[in-house]
Structure 1
Amino acid sequence: MSEKAKEIYFSMKEYGVSPDIIHFNCLIKALIENGESEEAMNIYRQEKELIPNEVTFILLLKGCAITRSLVNGKKLHETIMKNYELYRSITVQNNLINMFSKCGETQTAIELFMKMLKTKQLDDTTWTLIIPTYCEEGRLEEIESIIISEGVTSVFVFNVLLDSFLKSGKVEHAESIFNQMEFKDVITWNSFLKGCSQNGDTKRLLLYFKIMPKYTQPNDVTMTVMLTFFANHSMEQEACFLFDNMNTLFKIARITAHYGCMIKLWANLKKMPEAISLYEDMINNNLVPDVPTLILLLSVCSEFGNLDFGKIIHRNISELRIRDHNLFNALINMYAKCGDLTSAHEVFLSVPNKDVVSWTCIINAYAIHGMGLKAIELLNQMSKENIKPNEHTLTCVLHACGHCGMVDEAKEIYNHMESKYSIKPSNIHLACLIDALARKGNIKEAEKLLGSCISPDVVTVSTLFGVCRKFNNVTLAEKLFNMLIERNEVESSHFILMANIYASQDMYEDAKRVKELMEFGGFKKLPSMTQVCIEGKMHSFVCEEKEHPEIKMIEKELKKMVADLIKAGYQPDLSWVIKNVDTDAEKLDLLYKHSEKIAMAYAFNKQPNTSTIHLTTNLRVCGDCHNATKLLSAVRNCEIIIRDASRFHHFKDGKCTCGDYW
């Protein structure tokens, strides 16, 4: 649009029309609105025929404020000081205050304000601009005193003062201002409620919301403030009551923002069916979802692996013709985490003006699927297109290398991060390299690298600790576990891992001791859960599942599945049974009832002729389930895709894409 404005402006003389100051200001406005403030300043400097007026300087000052261009702002200030008409303009002075404040020159802004105050040449806008400036300086009480001494009564001004005290965390002081205000409009009430919400002051929030209808009618913003608080604090009962009854109680119709809050609530509570139902209700009521709500829904689909619903959202986005970079990136992430790399890459190719975030998203997509070569290929392609990778981009590439045994490539990238990309390796990058070495079996080299750290963080230590289970390295596991305990960085997952390592070596007394220590410390074990989506509905299963309404059918299919595996040469690995039971028969029964196997049995029963099964499990897949699934993919002639806590596994024709570097 700005290029078209320039073309029209500079070709006006060809049509016998001399541009006037109105045309000039229209051009300056178009440039600034398009983010081209520097170009606007250049045209202003080059203009010799027209005399800039008040509107010109107001526009240019706004441009300097947006781009934080202090140098240009000071030059404009010098010019204004030489023109009496401009200098005495309250609007120009207000924009000078705004420009200096936004550019970090708060003291200069305050000096300008004091001059305006001395001459009484100021308005409500002046006050609303200077209050945040005093707030930034930590001088709110000072500006409050000036406002009172000057006899300011504008509710507009006091709303800004109230908001500033709340943003500074001074809720009690804000409450005092609120109660002393002679006139409060709905904006005042909403501002105070929002401040209480953001400061986590539940008592005041609920109290003032309760009495608000006695003084003023709540509006849709009030509902958004309250629902946001309820959603953020997982207050299901309160949120549902307000959402269901806002029309009856306050004559307020639901809007997009209200649905967005409720969807966030269900997302926080991990209740995907409710989130889906609410989204469908929203669409049926002809409400257009906003970008944050769509991103939130896509993240829910990502977390639960619900590809079917993710595709519905994508279709709605296309129908609404929403083109937003963050939304494109969320789609890439959703498809990747739901196991559909083809669609993820198609979305990536459709992104206009790809930035580093878009590139990192697609690289991460291939990384979590363990496709190191593709991740490196994209990194090189990214560099060719003059997009500089960031720390997270390189973390994704290193992660991909580690999960497919590309140790040499991981070392090459890590060792040249500073020279090639001007990025200093962090502990996260080091953890990725240690992970790559350990997964390849280079335990001693990984341990040596960890030892070279002056103070390795919990992520780095945990990375090497996690690989100890695969190689049953009890000695190193004990060393790392004790290190985490001594540094007070131990988590429940560390206790479980150490107990499992002991149990795999039949060291049940040691495993029992670790579990008792975990219980004594108040740590909770995260139960294993696997989910599968059948015809758009998510089904969840835990180890030794007993509560599912179709458990009899599942057990029947599970026996059939195990029989097929044994016939094909399956040899159960009893070392992955962590419970101390007496007989091998009991161990086998426990092994067969891992949540992944139960979910697969359910999926095969419901979709006997399916070519692909998608599973999501919240923990790392165990070695026995990994081997059984490889064999099952060949026996049932079906691709089985499992997303565990670490990565994706694509099982097909008896092989896994991880190459057993899981």
Structure 2
Amino acid sequence: MVCSTLTLPPQIPTHHKPKQQQQQQTLDLITNFNTPFELKQAHALLIKTHNNASLPLPRVALICALTPSFSYAHQILQRSHEQPLFLWNTCLKTLSQDTPQHALLLFIRLLQMGIYPDQFTFSFVLKACTQLLDVRNAKTIHGYVEKLGLLRRNLVLQNMVVHVYVVCGRMSDARLVFDKMILRDVVTWNIMLTGFIKAGHVGDAYRLFSSMPERNVRSWTMMISGFVQRGRPREAVDLFWEMEREGLRPNEVTVVAVLAACAELGDLEFGKRVYHRYAAADQEGFRGNVLLCNTLIDMYVKCGCLEEGYRVFHAMEERTVVSWSSMIAGFAMHGQGEKALELYDEMIRCGVEPNHVTFVGLLHACSHMGLVDKGHEFFTIMTRDYGIVPTIEHYGCLVDLLSRAGLLEEAHEVIVNMPSSPNGVIWGTLLGGCRLHKNTVLAEEAMRHISELDPLNDGYYVVLSNIYAEAEKWEEVARVRKLMKSRGVKKTPGCSSIAIDGVVHEFEAGDETHPQAEKIFEMWEKLLVKMKGKGYVPNTSVVLLDVEDKEKEKFLFRHSEKLALVFGLINTKPGMTIRIMKNLRVCEDCHVAFKLLSAVENREIVVRDRNRFHCFKNGTCTCKDYW
């Protein structure tokens, strides 16, 4: 190999340079070399131009140790009168952060030179293993530390060993070390807590959390976030209440987790209280937190406060693609697809590049408005203009768009031509379209696939049963119910919730156990008289049971969303907005009734069902009866 020759910059002759400047230039040459040969040249220049006593020999040696000139480094260190371990550790510390693979190489060189490592050496090498997710070398270092007797008396090293196993996903190894530890601090417990939550073992995490002798804000925050991540928002909120009672003040990460839980629960009042108490004041320093603002937008949107969410979005000094995508999805969910498309145009004008989540929101907007051509256009430009490969979620949106529009054969063609295997949700989306457009043939094909992919999901059996019931194929209805029973599948009852004065009240279909049940039924009878005076006729066709119409009306009037609405009318002041969350799709009769009641009672009624939001006001709904 031909090596280039090092030369000093020509601007100033060497003998005219101040000594300090000349030394610095030589040191720069040592740290900025291209080949081992150039490094040796720089070292020779250093020896010729400076007093040997001031030469940074160990420093040169450490640089050499990372090159093929390892033997050269060894010779330098043998001639040095300094004890070099401190310098080795300093170099290891830097490398463990910047280039961890070099830290491991340097550690091997250290051992080859016969230098005895200390606790700091091992801590930096363990950090390098953590950065690289290198569990094999971590185990080797763990063995060294145990053999030298350093681990038992050093809590920091023990925590680092536990941490590297947790980060590498080796919870069984982490648990073995944890169980053997005589002394543990809150850091130790938090490391294990993080590991269980990261692995999805939230039950194990909570058991560990409950047994912690000491908890800090980080402990509570991790456990609250863990519950949210695993779809257990109610437990997250309950834990936050407990944290407050303990007298601990949450940080911004805690607030973000609690707002996310409130978004899932639809608990607007509690979410607003948490935000205004801990994050709204300027002195807290949270308002500039983009993640917090994005979560706040998501909470407002999912709680039916679209205008509040848009106000937060508008006030943000910095907006990320997540901010734009959340707002686009919010407009789509609330039936304001035109606004979603306008916001997308504004986003592009602002130079923000959309991501895959943005296009999910746009496709939902097109689906809720029946804009088939526009949906196809977005599906095309997503890949063509932005290089985004469609995910199964994008295909699900496209199938939903086509199915809602009655283009069932085209939706079916999209499914069978997908590049990846469709899941149960995709076929379930087609099944829902078959129900809307009464296509039993395609419904049966969709159900054959669902029976293999998601055989225990009760919702799909119910939809197929409803399709048969609407076609008055009662024998087929009985067959589906028998199939559900044989497979141990139970129908999920309709459930609606409403939050009043910080308390969430839940109602199931046919519920007569609520303390105010008698008042609710009396109030409903009065409202029924008003509604019938406005032309309301109960739509008993949505009760898919082979019983008399009077029986059907009884079932119809006990739908969970109706019970929640009447409860809200009784327990809130006139003119207040009523917000209801439902776990299933709103039925056609409830939809008609809510439109009438919004006008009769002069109330805005916001209902979030399984698919979207319905905002009833002055006798109309934002979905424009297309849902």
Q: Give the aligned partner of residue 507 of structure 2.
A: 541
Q: Check conservation: 2:58, 2:87, Cα contact below 8 A.
A: no
Q: 2:250 aligns with which of 269, 286, 289?
A: 289
**1:125 corresponds to which residue?**
120
**CA 1:299/1:419 → structure 2, altered by over 3 Å: closer, same or farther?**
same
The whole-number CA distance in structure 2 between the counterparts of 1:79 and 1:584 is 94
1:444 is aligned, of 409, 412, 422, to: 409
Alignment correspondent of 2:309? 344
Bigger mean CA deviation after superposition, 94-103 or 305-314: 94-103
Moved more, 371-380 or 591-600: 371-380
Pairwise CA distance, 1:524: 3.6
Deviations 1:335-371 (A, max 9, x none): 1111111110111122232111121121122121122
Q: Provide closer, same or farther for how the CA distance between residues 126 and 332 of structure 1 changes in structure 2, counting only shifts above 3 A.
A: same
Does 2:458 align with 1:492?
yes
Deviation string, structure 1 residues 532-569 (Cα, Å, up to 9, x no partner): 22233222111111110010000001112222222211
Which of residues 107, 110, 122 is equivalent to 2:104? 110
Give 3-state SS (helix, strand or coil) of 2:373's partner: helix
Partner residue, 1:185: 183
* Corresponding position of 2:141: 143
By how many angstroms is 1:438 displaced? Answer: 1.9
After superposition, where does 1:73-112 map in structure 2 within 5 Å? 82=43, 84-87=57-60, 90=85, 93-94=88-89, 96-97=91-92, 106=101, 108-112=102-106
Unaligned runs of 5+ in 1: 1-20, 22-47, 62-71, 201-224
| TM-score normalised according to structure 2 size | 0.78
Native 8 Å contact 1:641 1:650 kept in 2: yes
8 Å Cα contact 2:233/2:261 also seen in 1: no
Say if 2:544 is the partner of 1:578. Answer: yes
Confirm or deny: 8 A CA contact 1:503 1:577 kept in the other structure.
Answer: no
Q: 1:587 aligns with which of 552, 557, 560?
A: 552
Amino acid at match of 2:24: I
Contact 1:439–1:467 at 8 Å: present in 2 too?
A: yes
Change (3 A) 1:53 1:601: farther
Q: Kindly indicate whether residue 487 of structure 2 is the aligned counterpart of residue 521 of structure 1.
A: yes
Per-residue CA distance 1:110-151 (angstroms, 9 max, x = gap): 221122223416442221122354560623443344445556
Structure 2 CA distance for partners of 1:529 and 1:495, relative to 1, 3 Å: same
Aligned alpha-carbon RMSD (Å) = 3.8
Q: Pick closer, same or farther for the CA change 1:79–1:312 going to 2, 3 Å.
A: farther
Task: Give the unaligned 5+ runs of structure 2.
Answer: 1-19, 44-55, 63-83
Larger radius of gyration: 2
Moved more, 85-94 or 72-81: 72-81
Please, which of 591, 613, 618 is the counterpart of residue 583 of structure 2?
618
- Preserved CA contact (<8 Å) 1:306 1:338: yes
Partner of 1:541: helix, strand, or coil?
strand
Superposed counterparts of 1:533-572, under 5 Å = 533-572=499-538
Are the counterparts in 1 of residues 193 and 208 from structure 2 also a CA contact under 8 Å?
no
Distance 2:427 2:179 in 1: 54
Would the aligned equivalents of 2:507 and 2:563 in 1 still touch at CA under 8 Å?
Answer: yes
Read off the aligned partner of 1:310 and give its amino acid letter.
G
Counterpart amino acid of residue 430 in structure 2? L
Partner of 2:157: 157
**Aligned to 2:280, which of 318, 337, 341?**
318
Q: What amino acid sits opposite 1:160 in the alignment?
A: M
Tell whether 2:280 aligns with 1:307.
no
Amino acid at match of 1:270: R
Counterpart among 271, 287, 292 of residue 327 in structure 1:
292
- Alignment match, 1:459: 425
Counterpart in the other structure of 1:379: 344
Kindly provide the amino acid, as one letter, of the partner of residue 320 in structure 2. Answer: D
Relative to 1, partners in 2 of residues 1:77 and 1:164: Cα closer, same or farther, differing over 3 Å?
Answer: farther
**Structure 1 residue 271: Cα displacement:** 5.4
Q: Specify whether residues 92 and 654 from structure 1 end up closer, same or farther in structure 2 by C-alpha distance, changes over 3 A only.
A: farther
Deviation at 1:416, TM superposition (A): 1.7
3-state DSSP class of the match of 1:416? helix
In the alignment of these two chains, the number of paired residues is: 558
Q: 2 CA distance for matches of 1:235 and 1:162?
A: 15
Identity fraction in percent: 30
| Distance in 1 separating the partners of 2:375 and 2:192 | 49
Q: Measure how far apart 1:303 and its partner are.
A: 2.0
Query: Do the aligned partners of residues 373 and 96 (structure 1) sit closer, same or farther apart at CA in structure 2, a change above 3 Å counting?
Result: farther
